[in-house]
Structure 1
Amino acid sequence: MNFDFDEKQRKEILNTVSQKIEHFYTNTKDYSTTPELNLQEIRNIIASENLVSGTEPNKAIEHIITGLENYSVHTPHPKYFGLFNPRANFAGIIADFITASYNPQLAAWSHAPFAVEVEAHLINQFIEKFGLNPKKSDGVFTTGGAEANLTAVLSALNNKHPDFAKNGMFGLDKKPVIFCSQEAHHSVQKAAKIAGLGYEFVKTIPTTKDLKIDTDLLEKEIKNLNNSTHSPLMVIGTAGTTGTGTVDDLEAISKICKKNGIWFHVDAAYGGGAVLSSNLKHILKGISASDSITFDAHKWMSVPMGTSVFLTSHQEILNKTFRITTEYMPKEANELEIVEPFSHSIQWSRRFIGLKVYSSLLFYGWNGYEKVINHQAKMGEYLRTKLTENNWIIKNSTELPVICFTHQKFESDANFTKTILDNILAKGNSWISVYPIKNVPTFRACITNYNTTETEIDELIEELNKERKAYQD
């Protein structure tokens, strides 16, 4: 079996793939945003292919492309107003192709020195962007925000308990408690489960009327903690909540944490992108005082999935948390002043994650990103304006392009949002979601695509108005 194929076959295969992808990339708006969720049909299509002896490459490519085109929510669509899943920029797509082709192994520095140093350089760039002290800070690329948040929990445990790496939870005399907003991402609970704390020890704090964590209640909860049996481990502030795009009062949280000697982590998976815009970075005031930060480049930086960053203002904590020695790992770089990636994060075998960011910066620059982020924020303001003009009411307050809205007459009618959402998704022209705010179901629309313009927003407004009228009639 020739896994490589010959040169002629490779060129034919690449040409086929290139043509298919080019057609989708150019004509994304022509596709339905929403697939038909026919489980049995999908399973039958997958099971019908010959996985024993294989099939002809072009037929295999056609099968894969058809499956993805017919049975995916098309997040690259300019009328996908959904979760933080943007259209991937072309530089990032090319980077994934290059990475897969060269397949560098970033576990050991000596195996991929260029790739490891690219990621180290980018980490330093992000440290600077977020205002951390470059001489005292560190960071690492992760596969997603969930891994970055888990890294934060583990770092906080190892920071507070010097013997945690050796003894784990069995060495603790008190139960660690994590504090976060009730609007925080559920990866916090997941991290607590994986780390062995258990989600019972994640204390969620109610929000104020503006949907930020109530810092007065936070202080009271910390003060009222039974210090004979429990110990405050960390507070997680969110910069851009998933539901409403709210940014917690990071400055107030940092002061509370400093006063009480508690690790302060900022989950800026989405909202961290604001740091790249001179118009928006003020909303992250206080983030530079944090102990650690989660940031997802695969959100506002529009690179392919699985590209996140963990940053920390504690230069040695990653080594303390993950350091390990082995006999079988390469030792060619032992005499150099380098960090071995396998001893620096949760991952061992490591993909060249950072190339998607590096290639994008080489193609577009930080200046290009500022323009794109400002454009999306501008489209968010345009959507708010058009909704208000058409008698919809906005239920959240954020400078990020996340808009939650409903109609005053139907605020208490859960069937209103459900019916309209079902109708819009069934037509497949746009993709929005429903999110409850203070027990009121609202429509949620987020500008995630750099190609979304006033045209797509006007079309969404037209759809919403039409469905509202039909519901009223």
Structure 2
Amino acid sequence: MNFDLTSSERNTTWNFLWNELEDYYSKTEKQRTAIYPERKEVVHALDSDFEQPRSTKEAVEYVLKSLSKYAVHTPHPAYYGMFNPRANFPSILADVISAVYNPQLAAWGHAPFAVEVEHMLIQRIGEKFGYTAPNIDGVFATGGQEAHITGLLCALHEKYPDFASSGVQGLEKLPVVYCSSASHHATIKAARVCGLGGSAVKYIEVDDEQRMRVDELERQIKEDLELGLQPFFVFATMGTTGSGAIDPLPEINEIAKQYNLWVHADAAYGGAVRLTKEHTELLDGIENTDSITFDAHKWLSVPMAASLFITKHRYALGKAFSISANFMPEEEDEIDRLSSYTHSIQWSRRFIGLKLYLPLLVFGWEGYEETILHQIRMGDYLREQLLANGWKIYNHSQLPIVCFTDERMEEDAAFSKFVYDRTLEKGNAWIINYPYGKYATLRACITNYNTTEKHIDDLIDWLNENREEYLK
């Protein structure tokens, strides 16, 4: 069996695939944002006959058609949902290059260029967040969840010197993790994976803007200390998924310092504002945190998944993950600690960082700043048009996330559900039905660098139509 195919077959397939992908990439807007088939339809459409091989072209064509038909098209400029952007073109090329070269980042000696690229990017982005060399360290991760788990494990090994050998069973007091009630549920999963259990996570009440209440954080810490528990970790969110709320980091840092807690900033989405000069103050205090999660596959518009874990504790990753294996190459200490098998949860790993490195080579920091500012402006324009058309806005984030509804129906969950359902059914746009506090609202987020005022005007028209239909 010739897994390489012949040169002629490869060229034919490359050309076919390239043309098909180019057609989708250049005409994404012509797609419906999504269709919602019954599961049985999708299962029935699956080709599972592996006894009858087909041509590469036939196989590729089938996959492309299926993805086009059965998917929410997140690269669409009218996709206003989660943080799933359109991938910029150089980052797509990076994914292809990484797949063809398939470098192994487990050890520096196997992929010195790739490992050094990622190390350099960690340093440069760490500096953007206000961390200082030579203490910056970090690793590229498969997603924000892995970055969160990495932060929690680093904190456990820092707090408990024997944790690497004795684990949770060696702890005399139950460690406690704190996060706001509006934070991502990845916190719970991280606690479970690390062996602490979901009960170790304490949710702190939020204020009217869905920011963590610092007075409640300190009250809960004191209560837990009196119960004989061990407070040790705070997740602070820099742009909540629901409303774009940013927790008050300076105050959280002060309390953490007083009670010797590790502060981890979930800047998976909002961290991108640190690449701008105009909005960097939104994340004041992040330079004083212990570690950060930052997802390049969100606001930096690269293919999923490309997350970064960054810390100002130079040796924290080594304490958590350093290990020796007789089948791995022996390298100098400074080089050895860059290898993913001594430096992260992962062992074998692909070249994740290339998806960020190549766009930076092409567009530079200035290009990213321009794109981020454009999306913030589009968020402002969306707010203006909603207000001008009789919609009420409930959140006041400076990030391009807007929670809104008609004030007359703010407590009518059926209204927001109707508008949400009708918008998705028509396939014109993709939004979210989101409860903002006690109010049933709709949520739209600018995630695409190609979204323009015209797209937002169209969205407003569709929302108005659906509202009128409900009120008939």
TM-score normalised by the chain length of structure 2:
0.98
String of CA shifts for 1:233-256, please: whole Å, max 9, x gaps. 201100000000111101111111
String of CA shifts for 1:4-44, please: whole Å, max 9, x gaps. 01111101000111011000001101001112222111111
- How many Å apart are 1:211 and its aligned residue? 1.2
Distance 2:343 2:7 in 1: 40
1:284 to 1:249, Cα distance in 2 relative to 1, 3 A? same
Q: Please give the secondary structure, in 2, of the residue aligned with 1:225.
A: helix
- How many Å apart are 1:330 and its aligned residue? 2.0
2:144 counterpart of 1:165: no
Q: Do the aligned partners of 2:340 and 2:348 also contact (CA within 8 Å) in 1?
A: no
Alignment of 1:39-438 (within 5 A): 39-46=39-46, 48-227=47-226, 229-331=228-330, 333-334=331-332, 337-339=335-337, 340-438=339-437
Distance 2:169 2:418 in 1: 51
- How many Å apart are 1:229 and its aligned residue? 2.9
Question: Which AA in structure 2 matches 1:406?
Answer: T
2:15 counterpart of 1:7: no
Q: Do the aligned partners of 2:238 and 2:247 also contact (CA within 8 Å) in 1?
A: yes
String of CA shifts for 1:314-343, please: whole Å, max 9, x gaps. 110100000100000122x34764422211
Q: Which moved more, 1:371-380 or 1:205-214?
A: 205-214
1:287 to 1:425, Cα distance in 2 relative to 1, 3 A? same
Question: Which AA in structure 2 matches 1:215?
Answer: V
1:357 to 1:373, Cα distance in 2 relative to 1, 3 A? same
Distance 1:463 1:411 in 2: 19
String of CA shifts for 1:226-285, please: whole Å, max 9, x gaps. 446310020110000000011110111111101111101100000000101111111000
Distance 1:365 1:327 in 2: 41
Q: Please give the secondary structure, in 2, of the residue aligned with 1:405.
A: strand
Q: Do the aligned partners of 2:262 and 2:290 also contact (CA within 8 Å) in 1?
A: yes
1:52 to 1:227, Cα distance in 2 relative to 1, 3 A? farther
2:29 counterpart of 1:29: yes
Distance 2:228 2:218 in 1: 18
Distance 2:91 2:412 in 1: 43
Distance 1:228 1:387 in 2: 49
TM-score normalised by the chain length of structure 1:
0.98
Distance 2:226 2:275 in 1: 41
Distance 1:158 1:112 in 2: 28
Q: Do the aligned partners of 1:174 and 1:228 also contact (CA within 8 Å) in 2?
A: no
Question: Which AA in structure 2 matches 1:188?
Answer: T
2:470 counterpart of 1:471: yes
Distance 2:360 2:162 in 1: 40
Q: Which runs of 5+ in 1 are unaligned?
A: none
Distance 1:334 1:313 in 2: 22
Distance 1:80 1:391 in 2: 22
Aligned length: 471
Question: Which AA in structure 1 matches 2:367?
Answer: G
Q: Please give the secondary structure, in 2, of the residue aligned with 1:298.
A: coil
Distance 1:65 1:173 in 2: 55
Question: Which AA in structure 2 matches 1:155?
Answer: C
Q: Please give the secondary structure, in 1, of the residue aligned with 2:132.
A: coil
Aligned-residue CA RMSD (Å): 1.0
Q: Please give the secondary structure, in 1, of the residue aligned with 2:79.
A: coil
Q: Please give the secondary structure, in 2, of the residue aligned with 1:375.
A: helix
Alignment of 1:436-447 (within 5 A): 436-447=435-446
1:458 to 1:164, Cα distance in 2 relative to 1, 3 A? same
Q: Please give the secondary structure, in 1, of the residue aligned with 2:11.
A: helix
Distance 2:334 2:298 in 1: 35
Q: Which moved more, 1:130-139 or 1:346-355?
A: 130-139
Distance 1:397 1:51 in 2: 53
Question: Which AA in structure 1 matches 2:172?
Answer: D
String of CA shifts for 1:60-118, please: whole Å, max 9, x gaps. 11110011000000000000000000000001100000000000000011000000000
Distance 2:60 2:141 in 1: 30
Q: Which runs of 5+ in 2 are unaligned?
A: none
Question: Which AA in structure 2 matches 1:316?
Answer: Y
1:319 to 1:461, Cα distance in 2 relative to 1, 3 A? same
Distance 1:404 1:433 in 2: 9
Distance 1:297 1:170 in 2: 36
String of CA shifts for 1:116-160, please: whole Å, max 9, x gaps. 000001011111100002122211100110000001111111110
Distance 1:438 1:122 in 2: 38
Distance 1:217 1:338 in 2: 43
Q: Please give the secondary structure, in 2, of the residue aligned with 1:343.
A: helix
What is the match of residue 16 of structure 2? 16
Percent of paired sites with the same residue: 47
Q: Which moved more, 1:221-230 or 1:244-253?
A: 221-230
Distance 1:389 1:192 in 2: 45
